[in-house]
Amino acid sequence: MGNSSIKKILITGGAGFIGSHVVRRFVENYKEYQIFNLDALTYAGNLENLKDIEYNDNYTFIKGDITDEGFLTKLFVEKRFDGVIHLAAESHVDRSISDPLSFVKTNVIGTVNLLNQSVKLAKENPSFRFYHVSTDEVYGALGETGFFTETTAYSPNSPYSASKASSDHFVRAYGETYGLPFVVSNCSNNYGPNHFPEKLIPLFINNIINNKPLPVYGDGNYTRDWLYVKDHARAIDLIFHQGKNGETYNIGGFNEWKNIDLVKLLCGLMDKKLGRKENSSQELITFVKDRPGHDLRYAIDASKINRELGWKPSVTFEEGLEITIDWYFDNQDWLDHVTSGDYKDYYKKQYQ
């Protein structure tokens, strides 16, 4: 895809965790582009994530819902985007268990709405590209060994991963049926600044600071592969510009941790930061009822993106965690703001 042909890029979900890092990267690195951030500002979307770039000339925020067909039609006719990077989604597995339908609405219907508009633009613009940002959770669960590759069969286990698998399939089907140029990436668990404190790492950092219980699901012997969010944003940039149409790329951190070991590592780092006695935060660990359908292990084989696009993670887990913890210490206001709305009620419902 030639850079010169790309002018207007729509990024959906740019006020969320990963989206905010992708928007910032594109706004700062591609001054010749116009970046449009379309976000409904749900509980997970927060414009504070982008306050350092909100007045940049090449950046426009659009508040809107991807499930609103009329709104999207008007927007696409008016702006005639040259490419779409689609991140908007409902993203939390636990919420998908208590409210699957909202995941179908945003992740499936919202994606199909975007695809319908994109097909029209692609007909008139041969360099148009639709990029779907997806998850490794579509592949289901691994046992103690093995890795997900780009050819692993889809086998989603949660309503969240089923909705993302479905949207991946729609993207591919639009490529086959309507000739839509697309790329898909499936990434492992991200962590870093701006992560909403309902997910494991930011929730536990917040709880350790506030001396609250750390609810470890089941026995904690579940494994995730963690990637620093800015390394994911860099991979998305590379794939958008250099990935091959019709291809899938797995993105991972080469960084597997059992939840319980990760929580202990986090407790140790936080004890040092807070000047607490060694091992004192570990006393907050509370084993709670397991998540239904809890996937035992995710692990990504990211050799394709490494081989074809030269990507690999740039920070170690220790470095990334250090930056992340410091960010949460320095951004207590952000934490207060994002946890003052809907999230508080949700938290009460789940764990108190």
Kindly tell me which of 34 and 186 has the beta carbon lying closer to ligand NAD: 186
Nearer to ligand NAD, 166 or 207 (CB): 166
- 222 near ligand NAD, rule: CB under 6 A: no
User: CA neighbours within 13 Å on the CB side: how many for 250?
Assistant: 23
Q: Which option in ligand NAD, ligand TYD, none does residue 13 bind, with CB closer than 5 to 8 A by kind? A: ligand NAD
> How many chain residues interact with ligand TYD (CB under 6 A)?
12
| Nearest Cα residue to 118 out of 102, 110, 109, 130 | 130
Nearest to 37 by CA among 23, 48, 26: 23
- The answer to whether 89 contacts ligand NAD (rule: CB under 6 A) is yes
Would you state the structure tokens that stand for residue 98, as one six-digit string?
């208590």
Q: Of these partners, ligand TYD, ligand NAD, none, which one is at the site of residue 45 (CB under 5 to 8 Å by kind)?
A: ligand NAD
Report the residue from 81, 222, 317, 334 that binds ligand TYD according to the rule CB under 6 A. 222
**Which partner in ligand NAD, ligand TYD, none is near 243 (CB below 5 to 8 A by kind)?**
none
Catalytic: 82? Answer: no
216 lies in the site for ligand TYD, by CB under 6 A: yes
Rounded Cα distance between 124 and 262, Å, is: 49
137 flagged as catalytic: yes
Q: Could you tell me whether strands 223-228 and 256-258 are parallel, antiparallel, or unpaired per DSSP bridges?
A: antiparallel
Figure out which of the listed residues 61, 154, 217, 346 binds ligand TYD, where binding follows CB under 6 A: 217
How far apart (Å, rounded) are the C-alpha atoms in residues 254 and 225? 7
Find the catalytic residue in 33, 43, 139, 160: 160
Q: How far is the CB of 168 from ligand TYD (least distance, A)?
A: 16
What is the nearest approach in angstroms of ligand NAD to the Cβ of residue 110?
A: 5
CA atoms within 13 A of residue 231's CA, in its CB half-sphere: 27
Alpha-carbon dihedral of residues 313, 214, 263, 202, nearest 10 degrees? 20
136 in catalytic set: yes
DSSP letters, 228-245, are EHHHHHHHHHHHHHHSPT
100 binds ligand TYD (CB under 6 A): no
What CA–CA distance (Å, rounded) separates 59 from 340?
28
Q: What is the Cα–Cα distance from 163 to 100, expressed in whole angstroms? A: 9
Residue of 189, 194, 250, 281 interacting with ligand TYD (CB under 6 A): 189
Q: Choosing from 39, 82, 90, 137, which is the catalytic residue? A: 137
> Which residues from 184-203 bind ligand NAD, rule CB under 6 A?
187, 189-190, 196
Whether the Cβ atoms of residue 86 and residue 130 lie closer than 8 Å to each other: yes
Please list every residue from 231 through 270 that binds ligand TYD, using CB under 6 A: 259
Distance, CA of 84 to CA of 13 (rounded, Å):
11
- The DSSP 8-state label assigned to residue 346 in this structure reads H
What's the start-to-end Cα distance of the chain, in Å? 51
Helix H or strand E encompassing 337: helix 332-338
276-315 residues near ligand TYD, rule: CB under 6 A = 291
Catalytic residues: 136-137, 160
Q: Which residues of this chain interact with ligand TYD, rule CB under 6 A?
A: 93, 189, 199-200, 203, 215-217, 222, 224, 259, 291
Q: Which residues of this chain interact with ligand NAD, rule CB under 6 A?
A: 12-13, 15-19, 39-42, 44-45, 65-67, 87-91, 106, 110, 133-135, 164, 187, 189-190, 196
